[in-house]
Chain A
Amino acid sequence: MDTTQLLKGVLDLAVLAVLERDDGYGYDVVRRLRDAGLDEVGDASVYGTLRRLFHGGHLTSYVVPSDEGPHRKYYGLNTEGRALLERSTKTWVGFSKTLDRLLGLDDSEDAA
């Protein structure tokens, strides 16, 4: 089963979750998602998701000067972002429970 298809539906949630822990700039978010095990996450998808969430008013953004290279644009959750994360988490938990039941799995197992 192609995880990239699965990822599309939950990338928002994953990005919000990563930013909940710490603010981050685009590539930093990509790395943290990959480090967390989402190896297939697309660079462009993360970038586009960040832009979309930011435009939807769920993220704050600020620029941090960097010693080498260009300034980095950091993103972080605002109140709306946190609310969205909370809602999405509930949706995800309900969804995954339903699927677990459907598959006859009582304990949650790592699908990846």
Chain B
Amino acid sequence: MNTTARNTTDLESYLAAVRANLADLPESERDDLLEDLEQHLAEVAAESGEPLSARLGPPDAYAAELRSSAGLAATESVRARATSPQRHLRDWATAVRADPRVENAVAFVRELQPGWWVLRGYLAALIWAMTFEPWWSEALPFPRFLGRRSLGLLLAIGLIVLSVHVGRRARASRAYRRLGMALTVLVVLWSLPALLGALTTPHIVPPSQFAEDIDPFLHAFPDGSGGLLGTDGAEITNLYPYDADGEPLSDVRLYDQDGNPVDIVVERTHDGRAVVTSFPLDEDGVPVTNAFPQRQAVRDQPGWEEPFPEPTVHPEGPGPTGRARIEDRRFGERPDLTVPPLDDTAPKPEPTDAGATPGPGAAPSPRPRPE
């Protein structure tokens, strides 16, 4: 409607003029006073087509009346006589704000605001990852979303746009300002402790020398240990499968009789040193802990970040019992082992006569045998 549109602009300009006349009041006081003045004036305006200034008088007179009836001082100098502690504090705050150095600092922080908005959106995306994504800290600085870094990047971009939007609106709207501050506090309190924890615990190691088709990462476990036990009761820290031709296999995924992954996670060596394992990741970015042999290293061994031991086959064949001679090798290194090929013509070997293959003969004693 034509009249409605005219009324609206009339209302807005009137309101703006009243607001301008109260500009000397502290912001909170003014916002509070004007909180529902717009609604109030809209009621007045709705009653007739007359411009507001014709019905209510000029805006400055209206503002003056508002001021005196609401018990607010007419001018800055009169206001100074008030002596309540809050007033003192407020005056003091106003004085501090007026200090040029403080003004400069505030202006500087204001200019940095957009950067902070971006950071806020990014941290919000990280919060998602921290809360719902397994192994989120491995993906840093990317936030992981639904297991993927690329989706996480999209999420972060979306949240950054949202955060910037809120920030821009906050400059004009009090409700948005409150929303923005609440978001900021929430994001900081929620994300920073976990983020600092993840960054200061150095369990993330850059991927080094693994095949490019698997996305490797390294993880050290701070304490504890979990693995299989051999028949002699000693912990089995790794498994080295060989095929029928005696060729070593890699990334063989093992499952037990119930279909559960045999996921050895070795966290300590026998003498208590921290073990780092590099697991390949599955499609969802979750580490595959039942792929053997595992790539392991001792954390405090010199150069542990770099050379994860490559398999070497001992030229002289296995030791007298077919067992690996492990005394001299580094932890996580493939045992020197030559595995003779199976006899094609012979019937399928029983597990017990496979002395040359380390796998089946060393089945875990605490677990039920398939048979």
Identify which of residues 39-55 in chain B touch chain A, using a CB-to-CB cut-off of 8 Å.
39-40, 42-44, 46, 55
Q: Which of A27, A46, A73 has the most CB of B within 10 A?
A: A27
Tell me whether B39 and A52 are in contact (CB under 8 A): no
Is A43 engaged at the interface, CB distance under 8 Å to the other chain? yes
Pair B42/A48 contact, Cβ less than 8 Å: no
Question: In this complex, which of B39, B40, B56 has the most chain A Cβ atoms within 10 angstroms of its Cβ?
Answer: B40
Question: Which chain B residue shows the least CB distance to A49?
Answer: B69
Interface-facing stretch out of B30-38, B156-164, B178-186, B291-299? B30-38
**Pair A27/B44 contact, Cβ less than 8 Å:** yes
Q: Are B38 and A42 within 8 A (Cβ)?
A: no
Report the stretch among A64-72, A90-98, A102-110 that lies at the interface. A64-72
The number of residues on chain A lying at the interface, defined by a beta carbon within 8 Å of a beta carbon of chain B, is 21
- Flag if A48 contacts B67 (CB, 8 Å): yes
Q: Does A3 contact B (CB under 8 A)?
A: no
Given the interface pairs A44-B62, A51-B33, the reply to whether A27 lies near B43 with Cβ below 8 Å is: yes
Q: Is the CB of B33 within 8 A of A70?
A: no
Write out the residue numbers on chain A whose beta carbons fall within 8 Å of the beta carbon of B70: 47-49, 51-52
B68 at the interface (CB under 8 A from A): yes
Q: Which of B39, B46, B67 is the one whose CB lies under 8 Å from A71? A: B39
The CA of A27 and the CA of B62, in the complex, are separated in Å by 15
Ordered nearest first, which 5 A-B pairs have the shortest CB separation?
A: A48-B69, A48-B70, A27-B43, A44-B65, A45-B69
Interface, chain B (partner A; CB < 8 A): 32-33, 36-40, 42-44, 46, 55-56, 62-63, 65-71
Chain A residues within 8 Å of B, Cβ to Cβ: 11, 25-28, 42-49, 51-52, 55, 69-73
6 contacts between A and B (CB under 8 A): A26-B36, A48-B66, A51-B33, A52-B69, A69-B42, A69-B46
